[in-house]
A and B are shown apart, each in its own frame.
Chain A
Amino acid sequence: MDGWSQFVQLLFSGLTVGSIYALVALGFVITYSVTGILNLAQGDFAMLGALLCITFVNSGIPFVIAILLSVVAVMAVGGLFERLAIHPARNSSIATLIIITIGAAFVFRGIAIFIWGTQPYALRPFTGNHSLNVVGAVIQTQNLWAIALSLVSFIALYIFFNKTYIGKAVTACVVNPFAARLMGIEPRKMSLGAVAVSAGLGALAGIVIAPVSGASYDMGVMIGLKAFIAAVIGGLTNAPAAIAGAFIIGILEAFTEGYLSSGYKDAISFGLLLLVLFFMPNGIFAKMSGKRV
Protein backbone atom coordinates (compact mmCIF):
# COMPACT_ATOMS: atom_id res chain seq x y z
CA MET A 1 0.00 0.00 0.00
CA ASP A 2 1.59 3.24 -1.03
CA GLY A 3 1.46 6.43 0.94
CA TRP A 4 -1.46 7.99 -0.90
CA SER A 5 -3.77 5.03 -0.59
CA GLN A 6 -2.93 4.66 3.07
CA PHE A 7 -3.85 8.31 3.53
CA VAL A 8 -7.25 7.78 1.90
CA GLN A 9 -7.79 4.61 3.92
CA LEU A 10 -7.12 6.40 7.18
CA LEU A 11 -9.16 9.41 6.14
CA PHE A 12 -12.23 7.26 5.54
CA SER A 13 -11.80 5.37 8.75
CA GLY A 14 -11.50 8.75 10.51
CA LEU A 15 -14.63 10.05 8.82
CA THR A 16 -16.53 6.93 9.85
CA VAL A 17 -15.56 7.18 13.49
CA GLY A 18 -16.02 10.94 13.32
CA SER A 19 -19.59 10.61 12.11
CA ILE A 20 -20.35 8.26 15.01
CA TYR A 21 -18.87 10.73 17.48
CA ALA A 22 -20.82 13.51 15.77
CA LEU A 23 -24.16 11.77 16.24
CA VAL A 24 -23.51 11.23 19.93
CA ALA A 25 -22.05 14.73 20.31
CA LEU A 26 -25.22 16.18 18.80
CA GLY A 27 -27.11 14.35 21.52
CA PHE A 28 -24.94 16.11 24.10
CA VAL A 29 -25.52 19.48 22.46
CA ILE A 30 -29.30 19.09 22.13
CA THR A 31 -29.78 17.90 25.69
CA TYR A 32 -27.45 20.55 27.07
CA SER A 33 -28.98 23.41 25.09
CA VAL A 34 -32.55 22.60 26.03
CA THR A 35 -32.18 21.39 29.61
CA GLY A 36 -28.80 22.74 30.73
CA ILE A 37 -27.85 19.21 31.75
CA LEU A 38 -24.76 17.38 30.62
CA ASN A 39 -26.12 13.89 30.07
CA LEU A 40 -23.18 11.62 30.77
CA ALA A 41 -25.28 8.57 29.95
CA GLN A 42 -25.31 9.72 26.34
CA GLY A 43 -22.74 7.13 25.17
CA ASP A 44 -24.67 4.31 26.73
CA PHE A 45 -27.62 5.00 24.47
CA ALA A 46 -25.28 3.95 21.64
CA MET A 47 -24.54 0.72 23.47
CA LEU A 48 -28.23 0.02 24.09
CA GLY A 49 -29.06 0.74 20.45
CA ALA A 50 -26.36 -1.58 19.13
CA LEU A 51 -27.10 -4.49 21.47
CA LEU A 52 -30.88 -4.22 21.04
CA CYS A 53 -30.49 -4.17 17.28
CA ILE A 54 -28.28 -7.28 17.38
CA THR A 55 -30.84 -9.07 19.53
CA PHE A 56 -33.67 -8.09 17.21
CA VAL A 57 -31.76 -9.22 14.12
CA ASN A 58 -30.82 -12.52 15.75
CA SER A 59 -34.44 -13.17 16.63
CA GLY A 60 -35.32 -13.02 12.95
CA ILE A 61 -36.73 -9.51 12.60
CA PRO A 62 -35.91 -8.02 9.18
CA PHE A 63 -32.81 -5.82 9.30
CA VAL A 64 -34.37 -2.44 8.50
CA ILE A 65 -37.23 -2.97 10.93
CA ALA A 66 -34.79 -4.11 13.63
CA ILE A 67 -32.83 -0.88 13.21
CA LEU A 68 -35.92 1.31 13.41
CA LEU A 69 -37.30 -0.69 16.31
CA SER A 70 -34.12 -0.37 18.34
CA VAL A 71 -33.86 3.38 17.69
CA VAL A 72 -37.46 3.84 18.82
CA ALA A 73 -36.90 1.58 21.82
CA VAL A 74 -33.86 3.58 22.93
CA MET A 75 -35.80 6.82 22.45
CA ALA A 76 -38.42 5.37 24.77
CA VAL A 77 -35.68 4.47 27.25
CA GLY A 78 -34.39 8.04 26.99
CA GLY A 79 -37.89 9.40 27.55
CA LEU A 80 -38.42 7.16 30.58
CA PHE A 81 -35.05 8.20 31.93
CA GLU A 82 -36.04 11.86 31.61
CA ARG A 83 -39.43 11.32 33.28
CA LEU A 84 -38.25 9.00 36.06
CA ALA A 85 -34.81 10.36 36.86
CA ILE A 86 -34.44 13.94 35.63
CA HIS A 87 -37.96 15.36 35.81
CA PRO A 88 -38.60 14.54 39.49
CA ALA A 89 -35.28 16.21 40.36
CA ARG A 90 -35.71 19.16 38.02
CA ASN A 91 -35.47 21.72 40.80
CA SER A 92 -32.15 20.42 42.04
CA SER A 93 -28.85 22.01 41.12
CA ILE A 94 -27.28 21.23 37.79
CA ALA A 95 -24.45 19.34 39.53
CA THR A 96 -27.01 17.01 41.14
CA LEU A 97 -28.65 16.40 37.79
CA ILE A 98 -25.33 15.58 36.15
CA ILE A 99 -24.57 13.11 38.93
CA ILE A 100 -27.98 11.55 38.28
CA THR A 101 -26.99 11.01 34.66
CA ILE A 102 -23.75 9.34 35.77
CA GLY A 103 -25.82 7.05 37.96
CA ALA A 104 -28.10 6.33 35.02
CA ALA A 105 -25.07 5.41 32.92
CA PHE A 106 -24.10 2.78 35.50
CA VAL A 107 -27.66 1.49 35.58
CA PHE A 108 -27.74 1.13 31.79
CA ARG A 109 -24.41 -0.69 31.82
CA GLY A 110 -25.55 -2.93 34.67
CA ILE A 111 -28.74 -3.85 32.88
CA ALA A 112 -26.73 -4.55 29.73
CA ILE A 113 -24.41 -6.96 31.59
CA PHE A 114 -27.49 -8.60 33.02
CA ILE A 115 -29.08 -9.17 29.63
CA TRP A 116 -26.16 -9.55 27.27
CA GLY A 117 -23.22 -10.47 29.49
CA THR A 118 -19.75 -9.09 29.00
CA GLN A 119 -18.85 -10.73 25.71
CA PRO A 120 -18.76 -8.69 22.51
CA TYR A 121 -21.34 -9.19 19.79
CA ALA A 122 -21.17 -8.61 16.07
CA LEU A 123 -23.72 -7.14 13.73
CA ARG A 124 -23.52 -7.88 10.04
CA PRO A 125 -22.86 -4.89 7.77
CA PHE A 126 -25.97 -3.14 6.41
CA THR A 127 -25.32 -4.13 2.81
CA GLY A 128 -23.06 -7.19 2.85
CA ASN A 129 -19.30 -7.25 2.89
CA HIS A 130 -18.76 -5.23 -0.25
CA SER A 131 -15.97 -2.80 -0.52
CA LEU A 132 -14.94 -0.08 -2.93
CA ASN A 133 -11.48 0.54 -4.19
CA VAL A 134 -10.52 4.19 -4.07
CA VAL A 135 -6.96 4.90 -5.30
CA GLY A 136 -5.79 1.65 -3.76
CA ALA A 137 -7.60 2.08 -0.48
CA VAL A 138 -10.29 -0.43 0.45
CA ILE A 139 -13.44 1.29 1.69
CA GLN A 140 -16.11 -0.87 3.30
CA THR A 141 -19.66 0.07 2.37
CA GLN A 142 -20.45 0.18 6.08
CA ASN A 143 -18.13 3.20 6.35
CA LEU A 144 -20.15 4.94 3.67
CA TRP A 145 -23.38 4.05 5.51
CA ALA A 146 -22.05 5.60 8.67
CA ILE A 147 -21.10 8.82 6.94
CA ALA A 148 -24.31 8.99 4.90
CA LEU A 149 -26.65 8.28 7.80
CA SER A 150 -25.03 10.87 10.00
CA LEU A 151 -25.24 13.44 7.20
CA VAL A 152 -28.94 12.66 6.79
CA SER A 153 -29.42 13.11 10.53
CA PHE A 154 -27.63 16.46 10.48
CA ILE A 155 -29.80 17.71 7.65
CA ALA A 156 -32.98 16.44 9.30
CA LEU A 157 -32.07 18.19 12.54
CA TYR A 158 -31.14 21.37 10.70
CA ILE A 159 -34.52 21.42 8.98
CA PHE A 160 -36.31 20.69 12.24
CA PHE A 161 -34.67 23.52 14.15
CA ASN A 162 -34.63 26.11 11.41
CA LYS A 163 -37.70 25.45 9.30
CA THR A 164 -40.43 24.06 11.52
CA TYR A 165 -42.56 26.00 13.97
CA ILE A 166 -42.04 23.57 16.82
CA GLY A 167 -38.30 23.52 16.19
CA LYS A 168 -38.23 27.30 16.45
CA ALA A 169 -40.20 27.08 19.67
CA VAL A 170 -37.47 24.80 21.03
CA THR A 171 -34.86 27.33 19.92
CA ALA A 172 -36.84 30.07 21.65
CA CYS A 173 -36.69 28.07 24.88
CA VAL A 174 -32.93 27.84 24.51
CA VAL A 175 -32.47 31.53 23.66
CA ASN A 176 -34.75 32.93 26.34
CA PRO A 177 -36.67 30.47 28.50
CA PHE A 178 -38.38 33.25 30.46
CA ALA A 179 -39.84 34.95 27.40
CA ALA A 180 -40.73 31.56 25.96
CA ARG A 181 -42.84 30.79 29.03
CA LEU A 182 -44.59 34.15 28.71
CA MET A 183 -45.59 33.09 25.20
CA GLY A 184 -47.01 29.83 26.53
CA ILE A 185 -44.10 27.65 25.45
CA GLU A 186 -43.18 25.18 28.18
CA PRO A 187 -39.43 24.63 28.31
CA ARG A 188 -39.90 21.67 30.60
CA LYS A 189 -42.02 19.84 28.09
CA MET A 190 -39.23 20.33 25.58
CA SER A 191 -36.82 18.57 27.87
CA LEU A 192 -38.57 15.21 27.38
CA GLY A 193 -38.33 15.53 23.62
CA ALA A 194 -34.71 16.67 23.75
CA VAL A 195 -33.54 13.72 25.83
CA ALA A 196 -35.53 11.26 23.70
CA VAL A 197 -34.14 12.62 20.43
CA SER A 198 -30.61 12.60 21.85
CA ALA A 199 -31.10 8.99 22.89
CA GLY A 200 -32.30 8.14 19.39
CA LEU A 201 -29.23 9.76 17.83
CA GLY A 202 -27.01 7.80 20.20
CA ALA A 203 -28.78 4.56 19.33
CA LEU A 204 -28.32 5.22 15.62
CA ALA A 205 -24.62 5.82 16.19
CA GLY A 206 -24.25 2.55 18.08
CA ILE A 207 -26.08 0.56 15.42
CA VAL A 208 -24.03 2.04 12.60
CA ILE A 209 -20.69 1.39 14.29
CA ALA A 210 -21.56 -2.12 15.52
CA PRO A 211 -20.64 -3.86 12.24
CA VAL A 212 -17.28 -2.05 12.21
CA SER A 213 -16.11 -2.42 15.78
CA GLY A 214 -18.55 -4.82 17.41
CA ALA A 215 -20.81 -4.14 20.37
CA SER A 216 -20.46 -4.85 24.05
CA TYR A 217 -21.89 -3.56 27.31
CA ASP A 218 -19.08 -1.05 27.82
CA MET A 219 -18.75 0.35 24.29
CA GLY A 220 -20.68 3.46 25.35
CA VAL A 221 -17.96 4.68 27.68
CA MET A 222 -15.38 5.51 25.04
CA ILE A 223 -17.88 6.70 22.43
CA GLY A 224 -19.48 8.90 25.07
CA LEU A 225 -16.17 10.37 26.20
CA LYS A 226 -14.95 11.09 22.67
CA ALA A 227 -18.27 12.63 21.72
CA PHE A 228 -18.10 14.70 24.88
CA ILE A 229 -14.71 16.02 23.80
CA ALA A 230 -16.20 16.87 20.41
CA ALA A 231 -19.08 18.71 22.09
CA VAL A 232 -16.68 20.61 24.34
CA ILE A 233 -14.57 21.61 21.36
CA GLY A 234 -17.76 23.01 19.90
CA GLY A 235 -18.58 24.87 23.10
CA LEU A 236 -21.48 22.56 24.06
CA THR A 237 -24.23 24.64 22.48
CA ASN A 238 -23.01 24.97 18.93
CA ALA A 239 -24.17 21.98 16.89
CA PRO A 240 -22.16 22.59 13.69
CA ALA A 241 -19.02 23.17 15.75
CA ALA A 242 -19.62 19.95 17.67
CA ILE A 243 -19.96 18.07 14.38
CA ALA A 244 -16.73 19.63 13.16
CA GLY A 245 -15.07 18.74 16.46
CA ALA A 246 -16.24 15.14 16.12
CA PHE A 247 -14.73 14.82 12.66
CA ILE A 248 -11.49 16.45 13.81
CA ILE A 249 -11.18 13.91 16.62
CA GLY A 250 -12.14 10.97 14.41
CA ILE A 251 -9.63 11.86 11.74
CA LEU A 252 -6.90 12.74 14.24
CA GLU A 253 -7.37 9.37 15.93
CA ALA A 254 -7.30 7.50 12.66
CA PHE A 255 -4.07 9.15 11.57
CA THR A 256 -2.45 8.64 14.96
CA GLU A 257 -3.40 4.99 14.79
CA GLY A 258 -2.06 4.63 11.25
CA TYR A 259 1.12 6.66 11.39
CA LEU A 260 2.14 6.37 15.05
CA SER A 261 0.63 3.65 17.13
CA SER A 262 -2.88 2.76 18.17
CA GLY A 263 -1.79 3.17 21.78
CA TYR A 264 -1.53 6.94 21.35
CA LYS A 265 -5.05 7.32 19.93
CA ASP A 266 -6.87 8.05 23.17
CA ALA A 267 -4.01 10.08 24.57
CA ILE A 268 -4.28 12.43 21.59
CA SER A 269 -8.03 12.92 22.06
CA PHE A 270 -7.81 13.57 25.76
CA GLY A 271 -4.78 15.79 25.25
CA LEU A 272 -6.87 17.79 22.83
CA LEU A 273 -9.63 18.06 25.43
CA LEU A 274 -7.18 19.42 27.98
CA LEU A 275 -5.74 21.91 25.50
CA VAL A 276 -9.20 23.16 24.57
CA LEU A 277 -10.24 23.46 28.19
CA PHE A 278 -7.05 25.28 29.12
CA PHE A 279 -6.88 27.73 26.29
CA MET A 280 -10.36 28.02 24.80
CA PRO A 281 -12.87 26.98 27.43
CA ASN A 282 -15.73 28.32 25.33
CA GLY A 283 -14.88 26.06 22.42
CA ILE A 284 -12.56 26.67 19.52
CA PHE A 285 -15.27 28.13 17.35
CA ALA A 286 -16.62 30.48 19.99
CA LYS A 287 -16.92 34.03 18.85
CA MET A 288 -16.72 36.94 21.18
CA SER A 289 -20.22 37.21 22.48
CA GLY A 290 -21.87 40.18 24.04
CA LYS A 291 -25.43 40.65 25.11
CA ARG A 292 -27.62 43.52 24.06
CA VAL A 293 -29.79 44.99 26.71
Chain B
Amino acid sequence: MLTLNHLHVYHGHLHVLKGICLQIGKGEIVAIVGANGAGKSTLLGTIAGVYSPKAGEIIFENEPLPYGKVEQIVKKGICLVPERRQIFGDLSVKDNLLLGAYHRYRNDFQQVMRDYEHVLEVFPKLKTMLDRPGGLLSGGEQQMLAIGRGLMAKPKLLMLDEPSLGLAPLIVKEIMKLLRQLRDQFSTTILLVEQNVRAALQIADYACVLDRGEIMMQGKAVELLDDERVKKAYLGMQNKKEYNIAK
Protein backbone atom coordinates (compact mmCIF):
# COMPACT_ATOMS: atom_id res chain seq x y z
CA MET B 1 0.00 0.00 0.00
CA LEU B 2 2.78 2.40 0.96
CA THR B 3 6.33 1.95 -0.20
CA LEU B 4 9.26 4.15 0.73
CA ASN B 5 12.29 3.86 -1.55
CA HIS B 6 15.63 5.14 -0.32
CA LEU B 7 14.16 8.24 1.23
CA HIS B 8 16.64 10.99 2.15
CA VAL B 9 15.45 14.02 4.07
CA TYR B 10 17.44 17.02 5.28
CA HIS B 11 16.59 19.75 7.74
CA GLY B 12 18.90 22.43 6.49
CA HIS B 13 22.30 20.74 6.50
CA LEU B 14 21.23 18.04 8.87
CA HIS B 15 20.86 14.67 7.18
CA VAL B 16 17.89 13.37 9.14
CA LEU B 17 16.72 10.36 7.17
CA LYS B 18 19.43 8.37 5.44
CA GLY B 19 17.85 6.18 2.82
CA ILE B 20 14.76 4.76 4.44
CA CYS B 21 13.14 1.77 2.71
CA LEU B 22 9.89 0.53 4.10
CA GLN B 23 6.82 -1.35 2.94
CA ILE B 24 3.44 -1.22 4.57
CA GLY B 25 0.65 -3.57 3.56
CA LYS B 26 -3.05 -2.80 3.64
CA GLY B 27 -4.67 -3.29 7.04
CA GLU B 28 -1.40 -3.57 8.92
CA ILE B 29 -0.36 -1.75 12.03
CA VAL B 30 3.26 -0.78 11.63
CA ALA B 31 5.19 0.79 14.47
CA ILE B 32 8.30 2.89 14.09
CA VAL B 33 10.18 3.04 17.34
CA GLY B 34 13.42 4.61 18.39
CA ALA B 35 15.01 7.19 20.60
CA ASN B 36 14.59 10.93 20.55
CA GLY B 37 16.01 12.50 17.42
CA ALA B 38 16.07 9.27 15.45
CA GLY B 39 13.97 10.89 12.72
CA LYS B 40 10.65 9.23 13.48
CA SER B 41 8.54 12.37 13.34
CA THR B 42 10.40 13.58 10.28
CA LEU B 43 9.52 10.32 8.56
CA LEU B 44 5.80 10.78 9.21
CA GLY B 45 6.03 14.46 8.34
CA THR B 46 7.66 13.62 5.02
CA ILE B 47 4.95 11.14 4.10
CA ALA B 48 2.30 13.68 5.07
CA GLY B 49 3.96 16.32 2.91
CA VAL B 50 5.18 18.61 5.65
CA TYR B 51 8.80 18.08 4.57
CA SER B 52 10.14 17.42 1.10
CA PRO B 53 12.68 14.64 0.62
CA LYS B 54 15.95 15.38 -1.20
CA ALA B 55 15.99 11.97 -2.83
CA GLY B 56 13.96 8.80 -2.94
CA GLU B 57 10.31 8.22 -3.56
CA ILE B 58 7.09 7.57 -1.72
CA ILE B 59 4.61 5.34 -3.49
CA PHE B 60 1.06 5.18 -2.23
CA GLU B 61 -1.37 2.77 -3.87
CA ASN B 62 0.94 2.37 -6.89
CA GLU B 63 1.22 6.11 -7.46
CA PRO B 64 4.09 8.34 -6.45
CA LEU B 65 3.00 10.90 -3.86
CA PRO B 66 3.58 14.59 -4.57
CA TYR B 67 6.21 16.02 -2.24
CA GLY B 68 5.50 18.75 0.24
CA LYS B 69 1.84 19.20 -0.69
CA VAL B 70 0.09 18.60 2.60
CA GLU B 71 -3.37 19.60 1.47
CA GLN B 72 -3.31 17.27 -1.56
CA ILE B 73 -1.99 14.32 0.36
CA VAL B 74 -4.93 14.43 2.78
CA LYS B 75 -7.25 14.11 -0.19
CA LYS B 76 -5.38 11.02 -1.33
CA GLY B 77 -6.23 9.31 1.93
CA ILE B 78 -3.26 9.83 4.21
CA CYS B 79 -3.87 11.63 7.46
CA LEU B 80 -1.34 12.52 10.12
CA VAL B 81 -2.40 12.89 13.74
CA PRO B 82 0.41 15.18 14.79
CA GLU B 83 2.62 15.08 17.83
CA ARG B 84 1.19 16.94 20.81
CA ARG B 85 -2.26 16.45 19.33
CA GLN B 86 -2.53 20.00 17.92
CA ILE B 87 -6.26 20.26 18.29
CA PHE B 88 -8.06 23.55 17.66
CA GLY B 89 -8.22 24.75 21.26
CA ASP B 90 -10.75 27.54 20.77
CA LEU B 91 -13.19 25.42 18.80
CA SER B 92 -15.67 22.98 20.27
CA VAL B 93 -15.13 19.23 20.22
CA LYS B 94 -17.82 18.92 17.59
CA ASP B 95 -16.22 21.54 15.34
CA ASN B 96 -12.82 19.93 15.75
CA LEU B 97 -14.24 16.63 14.54
CA LEU B 98 -16.20 18.12 11.66
CA LEU B 99 -13.20 20.14 10.45
CA GLY B 100 -11.34 16.87 10.10
CA ALA B 101 -13.58 16.20 7.10
CA TYR B 102 -12.74 19.55 5.48
CA HIS B 103 -11.44 18.09 2.25
CA ARG B 104 -14.65 16.21 1.53
CA TYR B 105 -17.49 18.04 3.27
CA ARG B 106 -18.44 19.95 0.13
CA ASN B 107 -19.01 16.82 -1.90
CA ASP B 108 -20.96 14.77 0.56
CA PHE B 109 -22.05 16.40 3.76
CA GLN B 110 -24.55 13.62 4.50
CA GLN B 111 -21.78 11.06 4.51
CA VAL B 112 -19.65 13.33 6.70
CA MET B 113 -22.46 13.49 9.26
CA ARG B 114 -22.83 9.70 9.20
CA ASP B 115 -19.10 9.29 9.74
CA TYR B 116 -19.32 11.83 12.54
CA GLU B 117 -21.90 9.67 14.32
CA HIS B 118 -19.71 6.66 13.71
CA VAL B 119 -16.63 8.31 15.20
CA LEU B 120 -18.65 9.29 18.25
CA GLU B 121 -19.59 5.64 18.71
CA VAL B 122 -15.91 4.81 18.80
CA PHE B 123 -15.26 7.59 21.31
CA PRO B 124 -18.32 7.64 23.56
CA LYS B 125 -16.45 9.90 25.96
CA LEU B 126 -16.31 12.70 23.41
CA LYS B 127 -20.05 12.48 22.94
CA THR B 128 -20.58 13.85 26.44
CA MET B 129 -18.53 16.99 25.78
CA LEU B 130 -19.39 18.05 22.26
CA ASP B 131 -19.77 21.75 23.03
CA ARG B 132 -16.70 22.08 25.21
CA PRO B 133 -13.73 23.97 23.72
CA GLY B 134 -11.10 21.42 22.72
CA GLY B 135 -8.46 23.22 24.75
CA LEU B 136 -10.25 22.41 28.00
CA LEU B 137 -10.10 18.65 27.55
CA SER B 138 -7.66 16.47 29.46
CA GLY B 139 -4.61 15.12 27.67
CA GLY B 140 -6.16 11.71 27.03
CA GLU B 141 -9.39 13.25 25.80
CA GLN B 142 -7.46 15.57 23.52
CA GLN B 143 -5.61 12.60 22.09
CA MET B 144 -8.88 10.84 21.39
CA LEU B 145 -10.20 14.02 19.81
CA ALA B 146 -7.11 14.27 17.63
CA ILE B 147 -7.51 10.65 16.51
CA GLY B 148 -11.22 11.20 15.94
CA ARG B 149 -10.48 14.29 13.90
CA GLY B 150 -7.99 12.28 11.86
CA LEU B 151 -10.59 9.56 11.26
CA MET B 152 -13.04 12.18 10.00
CA ALA B 153 -10.70 12.69 7.05
CA LYS B 154 -11.53 9.06 6.16
CA PRO B 155 -7.91 8.10 5.64
CA LYS B 156 -6.81 4.82 4.16
CA LEU B 157 -3.57 5.31 6.02
CA LEU B 158 -3.72 6.87 9.47
CA MET B 159 -0.40 8.03 10.87
CA LEU B 160 0.00 8.79 14.54
CA ASP B 161 2.92 10.68 15.98
CA GLU B 162 3.53 9.74 19.61
CA PRO B 163 -0.06 9.25 20.71
CA SER B 164 1.13 8.18 24.18
CA LEU B 165 3.07 11.39 24.83
CA GLY B 166 2.36 12.79 28.26
CA LEU B 167 -0.44 10.37 29.05
CA ALA B 168 -0.93 8.17 32.09
CA PRO B 169 -0.18 4.45 31.52
CA LEU B 170 -3.84 3.48 31.82
CA ILE B 171 -4.83 5.99 29.15
CA VAL B 172 -2.00 4.81 26.93
CA LYS B 173 -3.36 1.31 27.24
CA GLU B 174 -6.81 2.50 26.30
CA ILE B 175 -5.55 4.36 23.24
CA MET B 176 -3.44 1.47 22.04
CA LYS B 177 -6.41 -0.85 22.35
CA LEU B 178 -8.41 1.61 20.38
CA LEU B 179 -5.94 1.62 17.52
CA ARG B 180 -6.36 -2.13 17.19
CA GLN B 181 -10.11 -1.65 17.21
CA LEU B 182 -9.87 0.99 14.48
CA ARG B 183 -7.91 -1.31 12.28
CA ASP B 184 -10.42 -4.11 12.79
CA GLN B 185 -13.52 -1.93 12.40
CA PHE B 186 -12.52 0.55 9.69
CA SER B 187 -9.79 -1.57 8.09
CA THR B 188 -7.57 1.49 8.35
CA THR B 189 -3.88 0.93 7.87
CA ILE B 190 -1.98 2.45 10.75
CA LEU B 191 1.54 3.78 10.88
CA LEU B 192 2.52 4.55 14.42
CA VAL B 193 5.53 6.38 15.78
CA GLU B 194 6.28 5.80 19.43
CA GLN B 195 8.89 6.29 22.10
CA ASN B 196 6.87 4.02 24.29
CA VAL B 197 8.42 1.02 22.60
CA ARG B 198 6.73 -1.69 24.57
CA ALA B 199 3.23 -0.31 24.14
CA ALA B 200 3.79 0.14 20.42
CA LEU B 201 5.28 -3.31 19.85
CA GLN B 202 2.46 -4.98 21.68
CA ILE B 203 -0.23 -3.76 19.32
CA ALA B 204 1.74 -3.59 16.06
CA ASP B 205 2.00 -6.34 13.44
CA TYR B 206 5.30 -5.12 12.10
CA ALA B 207 7.82 -2.74 13.51
CA CYS B 208 11.06 -1.13 12.66
CA VAL B 209 13.65 0.41 14.88
CA LEU B 210 14.94 3.74 13.67
CA ASP B 211 18.31 4.88 14.89
CA ARG B 212 19.91 8.16 13.82
CA GLY B 213 18.08 8.25 10.52
CA GLU B 214 18.58 4.63 9.55
CA ILE B 215 16.47 1.53 9.98
CA MET B 216 18.43 -0.66 12.34
CA MET B 217 16.08 -3.60 12.55
CA GLN B 218 12.71 -4.53 11.19
CA GLY B 219 10.43 -7.48 11.47
CA LYS B 220 7.39 -8.84 13.16
CA ALA B 221 6.58 -6.89 16.27
CA VAL B 222 6.45 -9.99 18.48
CA GLU B 223 9.90 -10.98 17.33
CA LEU B 224 11.32 -7.55 18.05
CA LEU B 225 9.77 -7.69 21.50
CA ASP B 226 11.88 -10.77 22.16
CA ASP B 227 15.00 -9.49 20.49
CA GLU B 228 17.87 -9.19 22.93
CA ARG B 229 19.19 -5.94 21.49
CA VAL B 230 15.75 -4.30 21.54
CA LYS B 231 15.18 -5.49 25.06
CA LYS B 232 18.43 -4.04 26.20
CA ALA B 233 18.30 -0.72 24.36
CA TYR B 234 14.63 0.19 24.50
CA LEU B 235 12.70 -1.93 26.92
CA GLY B 236 14.84 -1.78 30.04
CA MET B 237 14.74 -5.49 30.84
CA GLN B 238 14.64 -5.26 34.59
CA ASN B 239 11.33 -3.48 34.68
CA LYS B 240 9.53 -5.76 32.30
CA LYS B 241 6.70 -6.65 34.66
CA GLU B 242 5.99 -3.09 35.74
CA TYR B 243 5.71 -1.71 32.25
CA ASN B 244 3.54 -4.45 30.87
CA ILE B 245 0.73 -2.13 29.94
CA ALA B 246 -0.76 -2.78 26.57
CA LYS B 247 -3.38 -5.52 26.14
**A178 touching B82 by the CB < 8 A rule?**
yes
A169 at the interface (CB under 8 A from B): yes
**B86 touching A178 by the CB < 8 A rule?**
yes
**B86 touching A184 by the CB < 8 A rule?**
no
**B71 touching A186 by the CB < 8 A rule?**
yes
Given contacts A165-B98, A171-B88, A293-B166, contact A179 B82 (CB under 8 A): yes
Name the residue in A172, A175, A179 with the highest tally of chain B Cβ atoms < 10 Å from its Cβ: A179
Q: Which of A119-160 contact B (CB under 8 A)?
A: none
Given contacts A178-B86, A292-B135, contact A183 B102 (CB under 8 A): yes
Out of B86, B98, B105, which one reaches A179, CB within 8 Å? B86
* Bound CA span A200–B96, Å: 29
B84-95 interface bits toward A, Cβ cutoff 8 Å, 1 = contact, 0 = none: 101111110001
B134 to chain A, nearest CB (A): 9
**A179 touching B87 by the CB < 8 A rule?**
yes
**B89 touching A182 by the CB < 8 A rule?**
no
Number of A-B contacts (CB under 8 A): 66
Given contacts A165-B98, A165-B105, A169-B102, contact A185 B88 (CB under 8 A): no
**A175 touching B99 by the CB < 8 A rule?**
no
A170 to chain B, nearest CB (A): 11
A185 to chain B, nearest CB (A): 5
**A175 touching B89 by the CB < 8 A rule?**
yes
**B135 touching A181 by the CB < 8 A rule?**
no
A163-180 interface bits toward B, Cβ cutoff 8 Å, 1 = contact, 0 = none: 001001101100110111
Which residues of the other chain, A, contact B166 by a CB distance below 8 angstroms?
Answer: 293
B80 at the interface (CB under 8 A from A): yes
* Bound CA span A270–B70, Å: 44
Given contacts A165-B98, A172-B99, A293-B166, contact A181 B90 (CB under 8 A): no
B53 at the interface (CB under 8 A from A): no
Which residues of the other chain, B, contact A165 by a CB distance below 8 angstroms?
Answer: 98-99, 105
**B70 touching A292 by the CB < 8 A rule?**
no
B231 at the interface (CB under 8 A from A): no
**B70 touching A169 by the CB < 8 A rule?**
no
**A185 touching B105 by the CB < 8 A rule?**
no
B177 to chain A, nearest CB (A): 24
* Chain A at the B interface: SS class: helix
* Bound CA span A186–B99, Å: 12
**B99 touching A185 by the CB < 8 A rule?**
yes
**B102 touching A185 by the CB < 8 A rule?**
yes
A182 to chain B, nearest CB (A): 5
**A168 touching B95 by the CB < 8 A rule?**
yes
Which residues of the other chain, A, contact B50 by a CB distance below 8 angstroms?
Answer: 181-182
B147-172 interface bits toward A, Cβ cutoff 8 Å, 1 = contact, 0 = none: 00100010000000000001000000
Out of A169, A178, A292, A293, which one reaches B99, CB within 8 Å? A169
Which residues of the other chain, A, contact B103 by a CB distance below 8 angstroms?
Answer: 183-184
**B89 touching A183 by the CB < 8 A rule?**
no
Q: Which of A219-261 contact B (CB under 8 A)?
A: none
* Bound CA span A175–B84, Å: 15
B135 to chain A, nearest CB (A): 6
* Bound CA span A217–B75, Å: 47
| Chain B residue with Cβ nearest A185 | B102
**B90 touching A175 by the CB < 8 A rule?**
yes
Which residues of the other chain, A, contact B98 by a CB distance below 8 angstroms?
Answer: 165, 168
B181 to chain A, nearest CB (A): 23
B213 at the interface (CB under 8 A from A): no
| Chain A residue with Cβ nearest B104 | A184
Given contacts A169-B102, A292-B135, contact A182 B48 (CB under 8 A): yes
Which residues of the other chain, A, contact B207 by a CB distance below 8 angstroms?
Answer: none
Which residues of the other chain, B, contact A179 by a CB distance below 8 angstroms?
Answer: 82, 86-88
**A172 touching B91 by the CB < 8 A rule?**
yes
Which residues of the other chain, A, contact B34 by a CB distance below 8 angstroms?
Answer: none
B74 at the interface (CB under 8 A from A): yes
* Bound CA span A222–B153, Å: 47
**B74 touching A183 by the CB < 8 A rule?**
yes
B74 to chain A, nearest CB (A): 4
Out of B75, B79, B88, B105, which one reaches A175, CB within 8 Å? B88
Name the residue in A169, A175, A183, A293 with the highest tally of chain B Cβ atoms < 10 Å from its Cβ: A183
Given contacts A169-B102, A293-B84, contact A182 B79 (CB under 8 A): yes
B100 at the interface (CB under 8 A from A): yes
Which residues of the other chain, B, contact A184 by a CB distance below 8 angstroms?
Answer: 70-71, 74-75, 102-103, 153
**B48 touching A168 by the CB < 8 A rule?**
no
Out of B86, B91, B135, which one reaches A168, CB within 8 Å? B91
Given contacts A171-B88, A176-B89, A293-B166, contact A183 B95 (CB under 8 A): no
Name 12 A/B residue pairs within 8 A (Cβ), A-sorted.
A179-B87, A180-B88, A181-B70, A181-B71, A182-B79, A183-B74, A183-B99, A183-B102, A183-B149, A184-B70, A292-B135, A293-B166
Nearest 6 interchain pairs by C-beta: A184-B103, A184-B74, A179-B86, A181-B70, A175-B88, A172-B88
| Contacts A169-B102, A175-B91 supplied; 20 other A-B pairs, CB < 8 Å | A165-B98, A165-B99, A168-B99, A171-B90, A172-B91, A172-B99, A175-B90, A176-B86, A179-B82, A180-B99, A181-B50, A182-B48, A182-B74, A182-B79, A183-B79, A184-B71, A184-B74, A184-B103, A185-B102, A186-B71
